[in-house]
Amino acid sequence: MNLLEVKDLKVTYGGIQSLKGISLTIAQGELVTLIGSNGAGKTTTLKALAGLLHPASGKVNYQQQSLLQIPAHQRVASGISLVPEGRGIFARLTVEENLLMGAYVRSDKAETATDLERQYVLFPRLAERRSQLAGTLSGGEQQMVAMSRALMSHPTLLMLDEPSMGLAPLMVEKIFETIRDISAQGVTILLVEQNAKLALEAAQRGYVLESGAITLSGAASELLGSDAVQRAYLGA
């Protein structure tokens, strides 16, 4: 059963077509990656799925229902959560306030408190810094805040936009480890990455996006081995 089905999605940005009709599917529980170079349309895709951009045409079905008429804030309530590029944390709120903000769409206070404790188990670093301002954390820790905050809304589909961007290699490892953990808990993940190798190693399937169109797709291991991907992204 597909959780998300995107068909012929087109997005126009000020007269320029940044998505020229892409189609992709994500099954429940899958970890799928969307790789591509700068300006290929990866972020645009995620923004359109989160409802922050309005597509010119195409279909987006989530749990067998069209998403197109659903505003962004209602998509969060229905389980679609985006960790935006550059993390988008509330820099001047504390770590804990950030996480609680993630639970905005949930009303059960007791459950939110349990969730918070669960996040601190998943990210012990955040527990140490719970009362620190999020803006004063390192890039990797901020990424943890962003991911953890997204998890607070109990997402069915978690979309991550370049989580490794600007992080030290060790931190990148750590972030990917966490992504695998979250996936193992049953959360469906759509991972957008420039770091094709790491993303394909973590994911089950992948799509390659080039100038607004999907040029390759398949099992992650196949893509990792394919000549085209090797040449274009892995510098082999």
Partner 1 sequence: MKLHRPANRHLALAAILLVLPFIIDALFGHGWVRIADFALLYIMLALGLNIVVGYAGLLDLGYIAFFAVGAYTYALLGSPQFGLHWPMWVTLPLGAIIACIFGVLLGAPTLKLRGDYLAIVTLGFGEIIRIFLNNLNAPVNITNGPQGISGIDALQVGGFSFGESHQWLGVRVDDVHLHYYLFLAFTLLVIFVSRRLEDSRIGRAWVAIREDEVAASAMGINTRNIKLLAFAMGATFGGISGGLFAGFQGFVSPESFSLMESIMILCMVVLGGMGNIGGVVLGGVLLVALPELFRHAAGPVQQMLLGKVVVDPESLRMLMFGLALILVMLWRPAGLWPSTQRRRELNTEEGA
Residue 91, both tokens = 């820099």
The interaxial angle of helices 139-151 and 169-184, nearest 10 deg, is 10
Residue type, 41: G
Closer to partner 1 at the Cβ: 105 or 213?
A: 105
Closer to partner 1 at the Cβ: 77 or 234?
A: 77
Contact 152, 83 (CB under 8 A): no
Q: Shortest gap between Cβ of 47 and partner 1 (angstroms)?
A: 10
Residue 142, both tokens = 């901020």
Q: Shortest gap between Cβ of 8 and partner 1 (angstroms)?
A: 26
Closer to partner 1 at the Cβ: 98 or 196?
A: 98
Residue with tokens 């990917």: 176
Helix ranges (DSSP H) in 185-214:
196-202
Contact footprint for partner 1 (CB under 8 A): 50, 52, 71-77, 81-82, 84, 88-93, 100-102, 104-105, 133, 135-136, 149, 153
Closer to partner 1 at the Cβ: 56 or 93?
A: 93
Q: Shortest gap between Cβ of 99 and partner 1 (angstroms)?
A: 11
Helix, strand, or coil here: 28? coil
Residue 134, both tokens = 């999020």
Q: Shortest gap between Cβ of 177 and partner 1 (angstroms)?
A: 24
